[in-house]
Amino acid sequence: MPKDSVTLTDNRTGKTIELDLLSPTCGPMTIDIRSLYKQLGYFTYDPGFMATASCWSNITYLDGEKGILEYRGYPIEQLAESSTYLETCYLLLHGELPDQTQMDEFEYTIKHHTMLHEQLLRFYSGFRRDSHPMAIMVGVVAALSAFYHDDEDVHNPQDRINAAHRLIAKMPTIAAWSYRYAQGLPFVYPDNSLGFSENFLHMMFSTPAEKYSVDPLLAKALDVILILHADHEQNASTSTVRLAGSSQANPFAVLASGIASLWGPAHGGANEAVIKMLTEINESGKPLASFIDRAKDKSDRFRLMGFGHRVYKNFDPRAKIIREICHEMLANGQCQNLEHQKLLDTAMELERVALEDEYFISRNLYPNVDFYSGIIFLGMGIPLNMFTVLFAVGRTVGWVSQWNEMMGDKESKIGRPRQLYTGSASRDYEDIKP
């Protein structure tokens, strides 16, 4: 069978070339442009990767038009309904759902890697007490590379899985401790009798002085939120992880680069930015419409945080699920704080107004996952600056799975984009001395 291809004619020279078309399991056909420079001497220009597949991947599929998100072929709705975060981690990392023995072993392994090296505790005291927990996360996760370096061969599949286990297991401990440190509270060690999400809540909120029992409803909601954040194919932080890892760098240092990228308000930092925006709206005393107008005004940098997505142009399936959890939590009385209730009311009004506004409709701008996750985190008593940290905890498995996939690919090369140079042409140095 002849391969599908596209024909490209250079109108400057009349030269015609054939480029192969690659067929994905789902999604658009993809033009293989690797030989383009060799054949025509041209680069392609695509800042922001608007139409460029930076890699192949078997892990996650999303269709922005239809609002589909699947991990290893399983719809996110089914996983959120029936799976657990740890089972989803196994699926993302290994490609298949585990049987009971595999699941028990995986759970045992993760639970037995949750502790941090005691020496690592000292890193926390190097930070100011008012440090943003994401700054602490970047630093402490990068510091793990100093503890696991010589025994990490990135070309050895077992070493890569060991690194993945360590990262999935230790991230909640590092995250909870970044909060405890800022609060001046003692670090709480992991409790292996608890599930993944319960353990995180335990490390965040228990004190040595009082008995703390984890609310099962909150633990369940958190587990679902972590599932929703577990992977999202080649987003900014995952692409950062792939690019950093492509130089064969230490995986813990590589993960820290992903955390840094996630922190930005256009990416994972949006959940925190949403609450800041809602607070600003409430405290300003100005009508909601004035903020909508600002979001539409091109001379104003203000945007409606939690709205829009590069890929989802219909709805964000994660937002749909998380919106339901949000309402369930409210119905269960988990939002008794008046401040919180006011934020939620503003959020719901903002959503209603924006969804009826021609500007947002014509640009396919819908609430994304971050619009609702912050509201749920507030209801759980999670402090504002920990929201993106929770995103990082959930996304860790996605980052390591994508990194593992790339490192296992024999054809993988160091990432090295080209550029369209627009600076000065060659010129001679002039000495400033007379």
Three-state SS at 359:
helix
Q: Which CB sits closer to ligand CMC, 258 or 268?
A: 268
Q: Which CB sits closer to ligand CMC, 144 or 304?
A: 304
Least distance (Å) from ligand CMC to the CB of residue 258?
12
Q: How far apart are CA 9 and CA 18, in angstroms?
A: 9
Q: How many Cα atoms are found within 13 Å in the side-chain-facing hemisphere of 284?
A: 14
Least distance (Å) from ligand CMC to the CB of residue 368?
4
Q: Do residues 300 and 294 touch, judged by C-beta distance below 8 A?
A: yes
Q: Which of residues 217-236 bind ligand CMC (CB under 6 A)?
A: 232, 235
What does 133-154 look like in DSSP terms, one character per residue? Answer: HHHHHHHHHHHHHHHSSTT--T
Part of the chain binding ligand CMC (CB under 6 A), chosen from 121-129, 278-286, 303-311, 330-338: 303-311
What does 100-123 look like in DSSP terms, one character per residue? Answer: HHHHHHHHHHHHTT----GGGHHH
Q: Nearest 5°: CA angle at 239, between 92 and 259?
A: 80
Q: Does 305 bind ligand CMC (CB under 6 A)?
A: yes
Other C-beta atoms closer than 10 Å to the C-beta of 286 total 12
Site string for ligand CMC, 375-414 (x = CB under 6 A): ----------------------------------------
Q: Does 310 bind ligand CMC (CB under 6 A)?
A: yes
Q: Which CB sits closer to ligand CMC, 68 or 115?
A: 68
Q: Does 34 bind ligand CMC (CB under 6 A)?
A: no
Closest CA to 173 of 231, 128, 120, 132: 120
Three-state SS at 398:
helix
Least distance (Å) from ligand CMC to the CB of residue 95?
23
| Single residue of 205, 291, 307, 372 touching ligand CMC by CB under 6 A | 307
Q: Which CB sits closer to ligand CMC, 313 or 340?
A: 313
Least distance (Å) from ligand CMC to the CB of residue 101?
34
Least distance (Å) from ligand CMC to the CB of residue 370?
5
Q: Which CB sits closer to ligand CMC, 60 or 250?
A: 60
Q: Does 365 bind ligand CMC (CB under 6 A)?
A: yes
Q: Which CB sits closer to ligand CMC, 370 or 405?
A: 370
Q: Do residues 85 and 394 touch, judged by C-beta distance below 8 A?
A: yes
Part of the chain binding ligand CMC (CB under 6 A), chosen from 160-168, 189-197, 298-306, 407-415: 298-306
Q: Which two tokens stand for residue 418?
A: 């080209």
Part of the chain binding ligand CMC (CB under 6 A), chosen from 70-78, 244-252, 322-330, 362-370: 362-370
Q: Does 134 bind ligand CMC (CB under 6 A)?
A: no
Q: How far apart are CA 297 and CA 303, in angstroms?
A: 9
Q: Does 309 bind ligand CMC (CB under 6 A)?
A: yes
Q: Does 270 bind ligand CMC (CB under 6 A)?
A: yes
| Single residue of 258, 308, 379, 394 touching ligand CMC by CB under 6 A | 308
Q: What number of chain residues touch ligand CMC (CB under 6 A)? A: 20
Least distance (Å) from ligand CMC to the CB of residue 317?
12
Question: Which residues, listed in sequence order, are joined to residue 18 by a DSSP beta bridge?
Answer: 7
Q: How far apart are CA 15 and CA 33, in angstroms?
A: 16
| Single residue of 121, 217, 266, 289 touching ligand CMC by CB under 6 A | 266
Active site residues: 267, 309, 370
Q: Which CB sits closer to ligand CMC, 172 or 268?
A: 268
What does 19-40 look like in DSSP terms, one character per residue? Answer: EEEEPPSSS--EE--TTHHHHH
Q: Does 258 bind ligand CMC (CB under 6 A)?
A: no
**Alpha helix (H) ranges present in 193-269?**
196-205, 216-229, 236-245, 251-262
Q: How far apart are CA 347 and CA 352, in angstroms?
A: 9
Q: Does 267 bind ligand CMC (CB under 6 A)?
A: yes
Please, what sign has the CA dihedral across residues 293, 298, 302, 304? positive
- Which residue's beta carbon is nearest to the bound ligand CMC? 308
Q: How far apart are CA 148 and CA 116, in angstroms?
A: 12
Q: Which two tokens stand for residue 389?
A: 């940290």
Q: How far apart are CA 229 and CA 214, in angstroms?
A: 22
Burial class (CB in 10 A: 0-12, 13-18, 19+), 85: buried
Q: Does 272 bind ligand CMC (CB under 6 A)?
A: no
Least distance (Å) from ligand CMC to the CB of residue 137?
16
Q: Which two tokens stand for residue 359?
A: 């500007």
DSSP code for 155: T
Least distance (Å) from ligand CMC to the CB of residue 97?
24
Residues near ligand CMC (CB under 6 A):
232, 235, 266-268, 270, 295, 303-310, 363, 365, 368-370
